[in-house]
Amino acid sequence: MENLWFKGILKYKLKLIMRVRILRLKLKRVIFILFYLCFERTQCSWAMMQDINALSGADQTFTIEHRYESFAENFHRSEILAESPLVDETKKQPLDSWRYTRDFKVNAFHSDNHSTSLHDPKPETVFTYSPAVGLSHRRQNVFISMFYNLSYADFVQNQKSSRLNKSQKTELRFNFNRLTVTLNNLFKPDSAFVQGERTELRTTDGKHVITYFNSMQLNALYKVSPKTEFSFLYGDELFYFPNTKNINTNNQSQSTLTQTFSPKLSYRLTPKTKVFADYTFGIVNYFKGGTFGSRENSAHVGVGGKIFSDVGVNLSAGYSYVEYLKSVSPALKGFNFNLGVSKKIFPKVRASLSTTHEIGQNFDSALFESNALNKDFYGLILSWRAAPQITVDAEGTVGLSSRQGLITLTDPDNPTMTFTRPREEDTYRWGLRLRWAPRPFFDLLLAYEYINRNSSFKDFEYDAHQLAGSLNYKF
């Protein structure tokens, strides 16, 4: 009996030892994988600049802040990418082959004043889930790619704002001896709120409808000589806002068809510097003959590339003239420019200064007229490559805007007082971003941003603290 009992104990101990060894082996494998991810010295590119608001589930196309900052961030990103040899991804794909790509992105965003209100700030947390798939095919002179993206934005506090968006991108490229023809198309159904509905039929917040946006661009690039290029771009954009069964709304009056024609001539002064001149003619038509159909003519000249061997510059200046087809509103006209200067101030630190000025339009719903909107922007971006896989970005911006004409509003602190003056706003932003990209198929982004807006009217003043995180994985 003692021998049997001893054999049983010995057998149990052996099994326990084997399990411990297996667990140790698995733990070593996990540690090795983490070590491999964290410390393998891959050639990781610098962090891609991304507006923190892009992680909130909002469409940045129609926000003033995005237009202010897009030039600065795109210029800074291009200077960072220029530090490494540029690789045409389409040429890396073998001839007569198909490539299938997949990626999944999860974003988390929190703002302590998502309502952008001075006296009644309302916090909001948004989780966004974005799976995407792509398919591409390359032949000797033809390249085609298709990309489909789903995005679900889950608003925690305001569930009615939660929505599912999707987009489909298609590119078709033909390469000849000196001529390259590219066709790009973006189809994007999106959700929107119907405003001005009768309260006995719907809530005052309105209801969801699906809008349809399709953007098609056809570009032809011809190399006249080794230093001279001529291109012509035709753009066609359709925005359709479906009508609803409500006599108080006529949403189709917001549907537009925009067409643009833009020739461009560029000349390479040096191997790293180009000068260019372009002209744009555009026309906006409304489905129901909207009042603010317009015609635009603009011309620009500029220079881009490297000067003094280590200073990047991008300068574009021009004049635009926008006239309304059926409105008595005066034409919008004026000079506008973009200027960016970038330099490596330390071996691992790049700084970019930028400024823009543009004349836009502002619709006054009370007077039912469109007035000029002057916008000026100043920005500084610093990027520090702390490690091969880690980049830290610091950004500070100032946005100034002024609207033509006078408006009258009551004082929110004292409703018995009214003020009549122009509406002017100053927006100050600063933020930090940390990006960790241990592998080419995996990256993590953490960001913080503070916004402070001052206005000639208290109704438009606010400040907000925003936090965001993003995890992107490519299969």
Question: How confident is the model at residue 374, as a pLDDT?
Answer: 85
Instruction: Quick: pLDDT tens for 137-177.
Output: 988 889 999 999 999 989 999 888 888 888 999 999 999 98
pLDDT of residue 116: 82
For residues 428 and 235, what is the distance between their CA atoms, to the nearest angstrom? Answer: 34
Q: What is the pLDDT of residue 17?
A: 44
CB-based burial, 241-250: b 16+ in 10 Å, e otherwise: bebbeeeebe
pLDDT of residue 243: 66
pLDDT in tens, 261-313: 999 999 999 988 999 999 999 998 887 655 668 899 999 999 999 988 789 99
Q: What is the C-alpha separation between 191 and 437, in angstroms, rounded?
A: 33
Cβ(139)–Cβ(95) below 8 Å: yes
pTM, rounded to two decimals: 0.78
What is the structure's pLDDT at 199? Answer: 33
Nearest to 386 by CA among 351, 428, 436: 436
Contact of 455 with 422, CB cutoff 8 Å: no
pLDDT of the residue at 106: 94
Q: What is the pLDDT of residue 92?
A: 66
176 by Cβ neighbours in 10 Å (0-12 / 13-18 / 19+) ranks as exposed
Please say whether the beta carbons of 115 and 94 come within 8 A: no
| Nearest in space to 52 (alpha carbons), one of 461, 444, 433 | 433
The two beta strands, 390-403 and 369-387, are: antiparallel
Which residues in 310-342 are b (16+ Cβ under 10 Å) and which e? eebbbebebebebebeebebeebeeebebbbbb
392: tokens are: 């830290």
SS3 454: strand
Q: Can you list the residues of the chain whose pLDDT is less than 70?
A: 1-69, 84-93, 191-208, 243-253, 288-292, 327-328, 361-371
